[in-house]
Amino acid sequence: MNIFKYLIRHFFKVFLFLFSCLYLAQGVAQNKKALVEQINNRGEAYILIKVPDKKTLYRLNKMVSIDRASVRKNYVYAYVTSPQLNKFNELGLEYSLQTPPSLKLAATMCPDLASVKNWNCYPTYNQYIDLLNEFATNYPDLCKLDTIGTSVTGRLIPVMKISDNVSQDEEEPAFFYSSTMHGDEVTGYVLMLRLIDYLLSNYQNDNRIKRLIDSTEIWINPLANPDGTYSAGNTDITGATRSNANSVDLNRDFPYPGNVNSPYQKETQDMMRFMESKHFVFAANFHGGAEVVNYPWDIWSTRHADDAWYIKISKQYADTVHANSTAYMTDLQNGITNGYDWYSIAGGRQDFANYYLHSRETTIELSSTKMPDAASLPAYWNYNYRSLLNYIDRVHYGIYGKITDTLGNPVKAKITLENHDTDSSEIYSNPANGMYYRMIAGGTYNIIFSAPGYDTLIEQNVTIGDEEQLRLDVVLKKSTTYIPKLSGDFAQIKQINNPFNTSLNFNLYLLENVGQIKFSLFDLSGKKQKELFFNTNSGDNFLTINTDGLSKGLYLLKISSKQFVLRKKLVKN
């Protein structure tokens, strides 16, 4: 009898175990099915993932777009798209499907153009474009509407230039604000529109605003990813996606140290060309999902050479916010964080600007809710607008001046702080006017001014305070011993995707500006398959050649100008 009871009890244990396994397997299958359905419907899915350790987080970060991470609590929120799904599933991590942030609350859309300037509703795409055109019409002497490019689907990506002599390129530092490259993070979108209005409407009656506009070339791009924000149509932002129309996270799509191999999205290519052409001294791009100022680097644990300066200006932004709010922007280190310390990302615009453009840029997360109730937007403005103005003003503090030759012609020169600059933290003067702006923490520095064909000049023991402006003009003399570099030194293909597929993406480094360059692609028989011309600048040039339609096999790339010829063998898969 005891044996019989034992067998019955054992049978039920085995049965319950098998039933539990079956139930869990069914649950996992249903979870995967729901995940695929959300991806099919929206181009992306929003999930909460259990991450056991930092090593797994590092691997995961290469597979999906991490949105928010808490290593201490072992979880991350992330977006996953169809191309990422198989690799993500291979990790076998526990996850649960989440409601996308843009579907948690129906967005309050503005009924007409006039209501947009109440700043308590979200504009339609057409209202957005019409409002920018209205600004340009009403303030023709102060602002000029330009275009960075177009989205994948053809929507405009406008940018507003604000200056007292807006039709001229003056000898002034250029500053850039850009928002909502993640299409479902829209707080900055409305705040940037309001900032444009605030600057223009207060120019005549606010001495500080007048000073900023008179002394700074200000550029503002309120919406960098219109296809994501208006993924459901031009009249509503409810259901907005993080990614662009190709389901690509644009803030993971930029070149980063050691990698330029991605086939960049159109929005990314246009943004890179635009930023490179304007020689921005300082910039910030706005996001949502947290409340924190994020400073470089995102990709490395190594600190930026100007880490002390970055910490100081980040604290200044957050502290000014704190003085005008309650329990706002207190995430991580009381509203600031080093990017890598938070969680590492590759391909962010912040690192691209700092490393490749030798500029300075931060990422500012404005609201823990990605798409807040529109009624709260005036409060976010009140929290932030003083900090926004202070941030623009930062371009005027530090060491600046004009670099010319002995005839007074502007020179593009490298400005290096001796025993300080590392990892591309040196800056360059603007070749159009020779002006340079080196924002820096207070201290005493030896400054090296160098340019090809000129004698190097070192200014010793230059002292500057944290909140000081110091003008230091420099005249460089032509070198009597300068020998033009050979092709291999004058021009280098620093990085290229070889083998390539539908496009060639590479970084061509030029020691000097040589104007137009010809790119020719030959097959094995010597027949020319592609011929393109590009206008380039000295330094890094990020170029893309469309190779869709070419047959698989070996090719020869020839890059030529009057000064040099480069050849490279390539393989198309």
Is residue 308 a contact partner of residue 441, using CB atoms and an 8 Å limit? yes
The C-alpha atoms of residue 390 and residue 312 are separated, in whole angstroms, by: 13
The CA distances from residue 324 to 18, 338, 374, 429, in Å, are 59, 24, 20, 37
- From 44, 267, 361, 365, the catalytic residue: 365
Q: Which residues contact 356 (CB under 8 A, 6 or more apart)?
A: 255, 424, 507, 540, 542
The C-alpha atoms of residue 30 and residue 25 are separated, in whole angstroms, by: 9
Is residue 335 a contact partner of residue 321, using CB atoms and an 8 Å limit? yes
Q: What is the CA radius of gyration of the chain?
A: 26
The C-alpha atoms of residue 429 and residue 278 are separated, in whole angstroms, by: 12
The CA distances from residue 152 to 98, 226, 352, 355, in Å, are 27, 10, 21, 26
Q: Is 365 a catalytic residue?
A: yes
Strand, coil or helix: 135: helix
3-state helix, strand, coil in the chain (%, to 5): 30, 30, 40
Q: How many CB atoms lie within 10 A of CB 566?
A: 18
Is residue 226 a contact partner of residue 197, using CB atoms and an 8 Å limit? no
* φ, ψ for residue 396, nearest 5 deg: -95, 0
Bond from prior residue into 452 cis (ω within 30 degrees of 0):
no
The two structure tokens encoding residue 445 = 């520095």
Is residue 291 a contact partner of residue 337, using CB atoms and an 8 Å limit? no
b/e burial code for range 345-366 (CB count within 10 A of at least 16 → b): bbbbbbbbbbbbbbbbbbbbbb
The C-alpha atoms of residue 228 and residue 224 are separated, in whole angstroms, by: 9
The CA distances from residue 313 to 50, 393, 415, 467, 532, in Å, are 34, 11, 22, 11, 43
The C-alpha atoms of residue 235 and residue 242 are separated, in whole angstroms, by: 18
The β-bridge partners of 533 are 518
Q: Which of 491, 490, 566, 478 is nearest to 521 (CA)?
A: 566
Amino acid at 17: F
* Active site members: 365
